[in-house]
Amino acid sequence: MRLGLIDGDGIGPEVVRAARQVVDEAVSAAGGAPIDWVPLLMGHRAIEEHSDPLPESTLTALDGVDAWILGPHDNAAYPAEHRTAVAPGGAIRKRFGLYANIRPARAFTGIRATAPKIDLVIVRENSEGFYADRNMFAGSGEFRPTEDVAMMVGVVTRQACERIAHEAFRLASARRKRLTIVHKANVLPMTMGLFRDVCYEIAHAYPGVEVTDEHVDATAAHLVRAAADYDVLVTENLFGDILSDLAGELSGSLGLAASLNCSATHAMAQAVHGAAPTIAGHNRANPAALQLSSAMLLRWLGTRDSKSTLLHAAERVERAVAATFEAGIATADLGGLASTSEFTEQVCARVHRR
Ligand code: ATP
């Protein structure tokens, strides 16, 4: 198994190293062959070495690996000439057709959560919607005709709605069998109406799943009040981005929020959080989000290739992270005292336990 490893910016190198360590440990504990890691550049270091935050050499190398782990990028801090382009993460998602972004949020024993019973998954459409930097074939859907006027185009297509709806219904079928379609069709009846209606059409193929729909503003309020009511939510790109930060915080911290970007053929582990530049380099970042994202990646690979060692490795990572929290070990964002590396050592030790 060859996996790409992209550090990115800010806390990226710290959390990517921490994810790699637990993956190596878990794969070994599960009896799998060692991962062949392929380190690749993105972000500030790529600008220094290649004058490009996402060099072609990185993209070409990604063609040759099974999947990859992506650290966060801090594109808002890039030199002006590199800031206008599509953000690196978006460019990668677009190039490899990673149309689904699966973002679970769950509470852990030992971690104080605003929503202690939260256990949901946000299935975010990842290729179009209101993400104007990547919803066009060429150019950007965001533009500025005059100095004082800025505009953006949202795109919703039947094909993208169908494939994300299937993804969400499959997931709901394997969980508590409840799916909420999140939209804003009351003010955007054509775009969001299409999204909602196509999701309902796909529902006919999954009669065992109970489906409802909500306006995104109602969902935001309901998440704060009763997050435990939700099982799987399927939504548009920008809504999914915002709601998953909220869900992550409700579960204890954004530093817990894992995510997988995928299609039927490609997958990328990427935490929900960003580069957190204010804590970068201090060994304080919570690595759990990327470790749990990497577990999702192992599960995706294990399912695709019918490799039980990878499925077992994924389970080991998830259990070890949960057991570490249960033992009262956590990083500062969760009120704990552990550094990034101490937390990771504790997870690695627990990966071997049955
Ligand atoms: P992006 O738009 O790229 O997602 P952002 O502007 O939403 O980035 P983040 O970098 O995610 O911002 O940071 C938001 C807050 O959460 C900051 O206070 C940051 O320090 C904190 N944070 C984010 N990730 C972590 C983490 N892994 N561990 C600890 N704190 C984190």
The yes-or-no verdict on residue 271 having pLDDT over 80 is yes
Instruction: Grade residue 132 by pLDDT with cuts at 50, 70 and 90.
Output: confident
Alpha carbon distance 344, 331 (integer Å): 10
Integer CA distances (angstroms), 169 to 164, 231, 233, 279, in order: 9, 11, 10, 38
The yes-or-no verdict on residue 353 having pLDDT over 90 is no
11-26 confidence digits (pLDDT tens): 999 999 999 999 999 9
Helix pair angle (12-29, 288-304), 10° resolution: 50
Q: What is the mean pLDDT of residues 176-204?
A: 98
What is the pLDDT, as a whole number, of residue 84?
A: 64
Return the residue whose CA atom lies nearest to atom 4 of ligand 1.
Answer: 274
Give the nearest ligand 1 atom to 276 CA: 10
Query: Which residue's structure tokens are 């955007």?
Result: 188
Ligand 1, from 83, 273, 290: best to mutate by most atoms within 8 Å of Cβ? 273
Bridge partner residues of 18 (DSSP): none
The yes-or-no verdict on residue 302 having pLDDT over 90 is yes
The angle subtended at Cα 175 by Cα 93 and Cα 222, nearest 5°, is: 80
The yes-or-no verdict on residue 236 having pLDDT over 80 is yes
Integer CA distances (angstroms), 59 to 4, 5, 120, in order: 10, 12, 32
The yes-or-no verdict on residue 2 having pLDDT over 70 is yes
Q: Name residues contacting ligand 1 (CB within 6 A).
A: 11, 15, 72, 254-255, 273-276, 278-279, 285-286, 289, 333
120-129 confidence digits (pLDDT tens): 999 999 999 9
**What's the gap in Å between 318 CA and the centre of ligand 1?**
22
Mean residue pLDDT of the chain comes to: 95
φ, ψ dihedrals at 298, nearest 5°: -60, -40
The angle subtended at Cα 307 by Cα 303 and Cα 312, nearest 5°, is: 90
What is the pLDDT, as a whole number, of residue 319?
A: 97
Instruction: Grade residue 72 by pLDDT with cuts at 50, 70 and 90.
Output: very high
Q: Which two tokens stand for residue 114?
A: 């605003």
25-46 confidence digits (pLDDT tens): 999 999 999 999 999 999 999 9
48-60 confidence digits (pLDDT tens): 999 999 999 999 9
- Check residues 94 and 71 and name the one with the higher pLDDT: 71
What is the pLDDT, as a whole number, of residue 90?
A: 87
Q: Domains (ranges, CATH) in the chain?
A: 1-98+258-353 (3.40.718.10), 114-251 (3.40.718.10)
% of the chain at pLDDT higher than 90? 92
Give the neighbor-by-neighbor strand order of the sheet with 210-215: 36-40, 2-6, 67-70, 267-270, 260-262, 100-106, 119-125, 232-235, 178-183, 210-215
In the chain, alpha helices (H): 12-29, 44-50, 56-63, 80-83, 88-95, 158-173, 191-203, 216-226, 237-250, 288-304, 308-326, 340-351
Alpha carbon distance 31, 276 (integer Å): 35
The yes-or-no verdict on residue 85 having pLDDT over 90 is no
Give the nearest ligand 1 atom to 333 CA: 29
The yes-or-no verdict on residue 150 having pLDDT over 90 is yes
Q: What is the mean pLDDT of residues 143-153?
A: 95
